[in-house]
Structure 1
C-alpha cells in the first residue's frame, strides 16, 4: 500500500458504518492495538476529507467522536501517537510569542480595484506582454492568508503572510484545523508549499458568537476578525476550540518539475491530494467573461457560507505567469476585482457603552433601523473613544453605516451633524462605577476583582493553570455558579455548599464534592501562584514569580489605605522583567480600594505561603532554555520548574539561549536555529543532569 493510499472498506472496518462497541484496551495485544490505531487514523483522515473537501460525510458526528475517543484511548494507554494522528489536532503547549519564519517563496499581494476599467487595463497589460491568455476566476476570500508546507506528503509547518518574505509561525495553531490535512493523499510532490485562506464559516461564526455572548465574552465583529484573532492565539488549545476552516488556492513552490502546469490543473491536484478548495471556479477565455463572473458572484455572495469581497482573476498558464513576473510588492499575473462596500445613511438614536469580560469598554451606536445590503442594521460599533472623537459623532447625528461583509457593522462617517457636540465617553464603568482608564485608544474598567461584567473571567482565570489550577472551574461551570448567584466574588468559591451545587443542572453529589475538594486544596497556594491567579493586568506567571521573590510575603505588599503606593511602584521597577508600564499597572491594581477589599475577603479563606527569597532559591538564574518535541512531563510543567528556580524559558532559539532541550518528534526549525547560533542541544536525560548539577530535581514532583 503506497503512502497516503487507503485500505478498502473491507480491510478498514471504520470507513463505513463503523462499529463503536470496542473491547477494553487492556484486552488487546500490542500488535492488535497498533493495527487498530493505524486503521482508526486512516479512517478519521478519510472522514475529515469527506466532510471538509467533499462536503459529503458518510458517518454521523457522534460516530466520528466515538472513533476519535477510541484512538485517543489506544494512543494514551500504549504510547502509540504519531505526529500525523488526528488526535494531535487538539493543540499544544502555549508559547510566549509567535516566532518568525521565512517563507519558502515570497507571498506577494495582488493589485485590486472596484473599477471595471482597472480590470480591463490589467487585461491589456497581460496581453501586450504574453499574447492571448486564458484566465481562471476564483472567489476572493476574506480571511487570513497562510503558507502551508508539506514534505513527503506530511504537514510540516504553517505561517501567516507577514511582510511577504517572512511571517508568524502558526504551525501548532493550523495543525488544529480539521480542514487542513496532516497527510496528503495520492502522490504529491516531495516538497510542496501551498497558499490558503483560513476562515470561519458564516454559520459556525454565528454559533460561536452566540456561545461567546452566553459565556459573557465579547463577540467577534466579523468572521475575518474571528479567523485572524484565533490564528494568532498563543495557546493552540484555544484555536482547537474555534470552528476554523481553510481553502487552498495556489502552489507557491514544489519539487523540480512537480508543479502543475496550469492553475486549473493545480486546483484539480489539490482535490486529489485532499486539500479543500472552494469550488465556484470558472476558466474563461477573455476579460468580458471574467467581469461577468465577478458580477454573478456579487449577486450570489449572500448565499455562500464564507465571506468573499471580490473576485481574483488569474492567468491560467504557469509559464505565462513566470514570463509576466512581479513587482517588489505584487504579482503581474493576477488582479482582484473587488465588490463595492455596502453603506447606507441613518440616524444615531443612542450610544451605549458595553463592558466586556476583559474590562474593555466598547461604545455601540443604536440606530434607526436601515437596510444595508439586504440586512437590517440597528446597531453599529464605534470601536473606542478615539474613534468617537475622530468621527465627531453624537446622539442625533446622521451617519453612514458600512457593512463591507461585516456581521457587526461600523459607523463610517457623519454625513449630517444634527447634534451640538461629541458623545462624552464615561469616566466611570457603567457596570460597577469604578474609574475608567485609557490605554492608547482603548478604555478599560479598573474595577478588576469587583466588576460584575468581569466576574466570570476573573473566576475562570483564578482556577486556570495560570492561576491555582482548580480542576472543574471551566467556562460553562463558572457561568452556572454566577447565574445561580452562588458566587459573587472569588471568596465565595470557598463558601460553596455541596447540596446547593448538586442541585445545578448537570451536577450531582459526586461532582459537587470533587469541585469542593479541588477548591479546598487551593487554600494554601504559593505566593507567586496567588498573585498570578488574581489576574493583575500585565502580570503572568513569570512576572508573578519575580514579584513574589522580591517581596517574599503577602505582608510586604500594599494592602491598606495608608500604604506607600509610590514607593511600591519604584521597588517594582527593580524586579527583573518589570518595567515602568507593568509597575504602573500593578500599583493601580493594589491602589484600587475595591480590589484590596476583595483580596481581604479572599484572605479569610486563603493563606498564601511565603517564598524563600535567599539566593539558593534561584540556582538556574542566568540560564535560558527552549523546548522542542514531547517530554515525559508536559512542557508547561518543565518550564514552570525552570522558572521557579530562577531560569528563563523562551519560545524561540537565539544567541542568548543556553540550551535547546530536544524531546520526541522535535521541530526542525528550532534545531536549525540552535545549530546556527551554536546553542547546545540536550536530550531529556541530559536536561535532568544539568538541572541536577544546579541542585534542581527533575522530573518535577
Structure 2
C-alpha cells in the first residue's frame, strides 16, 4: 500500500521550484507539509525496501530540505515526520535485528557554502563544549553508492550482519554477508571482545558489467545500476545467489567496541580507527585522507570529482568527518543525523540528446533487447552514443520513439539508460516488431519481455549459443573465444553446435593465425568435451532459466538426457529449483523442433552426456570454488568429493573464479603463484578445517 495518494504532486516528477516560505499561509503550509511527508515516506519505501526509486537522489534531497524548512518556519514538528527518523523499514521476509548503535544519516549538500557553514557550526559547538575550535581536523573519504551494513564480531568471529533498515534495526543478512569475500569471517590480530563496524557493500563496475552481460545471456532483466544490483543481491534469501555475484565491501567506522582481555583501548581518532579496521582484516578504501581544515576538505572533494570516472566503484560525493572521536561524541546527534559529519555531494550525471534510431538485438536465449542509438553526448566525461531500453515494457512505460529528446543517465562506467522523454517528436511510441529481426520467427511476449521463438534455428541465437557452449559457463573449451568463433563462421566452418565436433585439422591450420599445433590443441579440447557431465551439457545448451544450480538439480533427478527430455511438467516441478514457469520454459525448449534437431545433431556427432551422481549432504558451501594442491589428510579426490557433496565446486586449476586454494604438504608452487596473481586466499589444511567447521562440516571426512 502506498504512503501517498496517486495525485500527490511530490510523488512523480515533483516540482523543485517552491513558493517563498513567507508567501504561504499557515493552512497552505500545513497542506504542503502533509503531502511532502506522505511522498517522502513513499520514496523512502521505494528506495530502501523495493529498491525501485521513483525520483533521483538530488530531487529527493530538495523535497526533504523543503519539508525541514516548512516544519521549522511554521512550527509543524511531528514525531512521525520523516525528518525525525532515518528512512526505510526492514523487509518482512528476513528476520529483524536491533543495531548495536543507531546507523544515522548525515547532512548533505552539493554547495561548497553549505560545507563551510557545517565547519562554522562545528567550531561553534565545540567551543561551547570546551574544545579548541581553532584546531579542528577532518578525515575525508569517498561517499560510496552501495548498501550500508553493520557487521558484529564477538571474540573475533563474525556473529551478525544487518542492513541499515530504519536506522535502529535492520534485516539480518548474516548468511549473505558470509558469502562476500571482502568481509572476513574472523578478525586478524588481537581482536576486541565485541566489535561492531559499519561498511558499504557494493558491486565494482567491472563485475557489474560482466554480471549484467550474463543476466542478458540468461534471458534475465539487467540491473539498471550497480547500487540496484547490490541491493537486489544482499537481500536474497538464498545465500548462494550472493556468492555468485561480484560484491565487495569497504568498512569505515566503528559502531561499538569492548576491548576484553586482548585488545587495547578504542582508537582516539577516525584516522586511527581506519588503521585499526585495516589491521583487523577489513577492506578499506585507500583514497581516504586526513586534512587540516575545511578548505582542504573542499579541495579533496574537487580532486576526487575529477578522478571519479577512473574508479572501479560508484561514488556520489565525499564524507567529511571530525577526526577527534571525543570531539565528535561531544557534538552529538539529532534524531536523524550525526552532527560530526557532512556529505559534500557530486553533481548528477545526466544529459539530454536525441534518439536517432532504435535497433533490436537478439540474445542467445532469444531475448529481444531494444537499444537506442543517440546523437553523441558527453555524460560524466564519457561520450555516449547508445543506451539500453531494456525491453518492450520499458519502451511503453517511457513512451519513447525515434526523434524524441531524452534524458540519458550513466550510473557508473556502464551502458547508459534513458531516464525520461524530455521532448517528444511524435505522439506515437516505437512499434516493437512482431517477428524476429534476424530469422523472422514470431515474437512471444512474456509480461514486459519479448522472445524470438526460433530457438537454435535463429542464426543470432545460434551464434551466441556457440559462444556460450564453449565458454567457462558451458563446457569450458579453451581456444575458442568470440573472435575465433567469428573467424570460423566467416570461413563457413562453424554454423551450428555439432559443427564443433566435425572441424578438420588441416582446414583449421590453413586459417590466418593458426597452425598445426593450435589446430590440434583445439581438436583435443573439443574431443575432451565429447562426454560432458549432464549438468554441464544442460548449462551449455542455453536453456532459458536454467543456470548451473538448476542444471545440476535436473541432472541429479533424471538419469539421462532422454529421461529429462521425456519428463512432463509435474515431474519437473517436483524438483526444488524448478517452479511452474521454469518447468514450462524447459518443456518449450525441448519441444521446439529446431532445438531438438540441434541436440540430435550433437548426439550424432558423438556427444554423450554422462550421468551425475546425486548429493545427499547439503548445500552449505554453495557458490564456493576450491582448488586443492599438495598432500592432505585424505586423498585429493576425497577432498573434492566432500566439498562437492556440500554444494561447492572443486576444480583443478586456479582462476579469478576460485574462492580458495587449499595447500597441503609439498604444495605445488605454480598453483600458489596463480593464487597470488588472482588474489585468491591460500588456506593451510588447518585453515581449511576451521573454515569447514564454521559451516558445521567435519574435517577430515569419516570413512
Change (3 A) 1:556 1:171: closer
Given the alignment, which residue of 675, 687, 691 partners 1:665? 687
Q: Which residue pairs with 2:253 in the alignment?
A: 250
Distance (whole Å) between structure 1 residues aligned to residue 335 and residue 363 of structure 2: 42
Q: Are 1:110 and 2:105 an aligned pair? A: yes
Mapped contact 1:108–1:330 kept (Cα < 8 A): no
Secondary structure class of the residue paired with 2:588: helix
Query: 1:313-363 deviations in whole A, cap 9, x for unaligned?
Result: 223232344456668986554332322313333322211223345654332
Q: CA deviation at 1:312?
A: 1.2
Paired residue secondary structure (1:603): helix
Q: 2:142 corresponds to which residue?
A: 139
Match of 1:595 in 2: 595
Residues in 1 aligned to 2:533 and 2:275: alpha-carbon distance in whole angstroms: 58
Q: Conserved in 1, the CA contact under 8 Å of 2:498 and 2:605? A: yes
Match of 2:503 in 1: 496
Question: 1:536-551 maps to which residues of 2 (within 5 A)?
Answer: 536-540=543-547, 543-544=550-551, 547=554
Unaligned runs of 5+ in 1: 1-98, 560-566, 644-650, 652-661, 675-680, 690-701
Q: Which residue in the other structure is 1:685 paired with? A: 701
In structure 2, the residue matched to 1:262 is 269
Deviations 1:66-110 (A, max 9, x none): xxxxxxxxxxxxxxxxxxxxxxxxxxxxxxxxx999999679363
Task: Report the Cα offset of residue 492 of structure 1.
Answer: 0.8
For 1:392-541, list aligned pairs within 5 A: 392-403=399-410, 407-438=414-445, 441-455=448-462, 458-459=465-466, 461-463=468-470, 481-482=488-489, 485-503=492-510, 508-523=515-530, 530-540=537-547
Cα distance change on mapping 1:573 and 1:601 into 2, 3 Å = same
Does residue 352 (structure 1) correspond to residue 359 (structure 2)? The answer is yes
Structure 2 distance, partners of 1:666, 1:137, is 38
Contact 1:434–1:445 under 8 Å retained in 2 = yes
Work out whether residues 261 and 318 of structure 1, in 8 Å CA contact, stay in contact via their aligned partners in 2.
yes
Deviations 1:8-40 (A, max 9, x none): xxxxxxxxxxxxxxxxxxxxxxxxxxxxxxxxx
Q: 2: CA distance between counterparts of 1:263 and 1:521?
A: 56
Shift of 1:495: 0.3
Aligned counterpart for 2:291 among listed residues 277, 280, 283: 283
2:637 paired with 1:633: yes
TM-aligned CA distance change 1:206 to 1:162, over 3 Å: closer
Q: Given the alignment, which residue of 312, 325, 340 partners 2:319?
A: 312
Cα separation, partners in 2 of 1:283 and 1:469, compared to 1, 3 Å = closer
Give, in angstroms, the shift of residue 394 of structure 1. 1.0
Q: Shift in Å at residue 190 of structure 1?
A: 9.0
Post-superposition offset of 1:173: 5.3
Q: Contact between 2:201 and 2:249, CA under 8 Å: does it hold in 1?
A: yes
1:226 and 1:289, CA in 2 relative to 1: closer, same or farther beyond 3 A?
Answer: same
SS at match of 2:585: helix
Task: Specify the alignment match of 2:663 in structure 1.
Answer: none
- Could you say which residue in structure 2 is the equivalent of 1:578? 578
Provide the TM-score with structure 1 as the length reference: 0.59
2:345 is the alignment partner of 1:338? yes
Pair 1:558–1:151, CA change in 2 (3 A)? closer
Query: Hey, what's the Cα distance between the residues in 1 that align with 2:384 and 2:354?
Result: 11
- SS of alignment partner, residue 321 of structure 2: strand
Q: Which residue of 2 aligns with 1:4?
A: none
**1:228 positional shift:** 8.8
Separation (CA, whole Å) in 2 of partners of 1:640 and 1:108: 39
Q: State the distance in 2 between where 1:399 and 1:144 align.
A: 29
Q: Distance in 2 between matches of 1:684 and 1:280?
A: 44
Report how far residue 381 of structure 1 moved. Answer: 2.7
What is the CA–CA distance in structure 1 between the aligned matches of 2:513 and 2:102, rounded to whole Å?
49
Counting only pairs closer than 5 Å after superposition, residues 66-81 of structure 1 correspond to structure 2 as none
Task: Give, in angstroms, the shift of residue 585 of structure 1.
Answer: 1.0
**By how many angstroms is 1:546 displaced?**
5.6
Residue of structure 1 in register with 2:372 after alignment? 365
Task: Give TM-score, length-normalised by structure 2.
Answer: 0.59
User: CA 1:207 to 1:426, structure 2 compared with 1: closer, same or farther past 3 Å?
Assistant: closer
Deviation string for 1:292-327 (max 9, x for gaps)?
764665467567786532121223232344456668
2:158–2:185: 8 Å Cα contact kept in structure 1?
no
Give the SS at the match of 2:637. coil
Distance 1:273 1:219, change over 3 A: same
Counterpart CA distance in 2 for 1:465 and 1:366 is 31
Listed as ranges, the gaps of 5+ residues in structure 2 are: 1-93, 629-633, 648-658, 660-683
Cα-Cα RMSD: 5.6
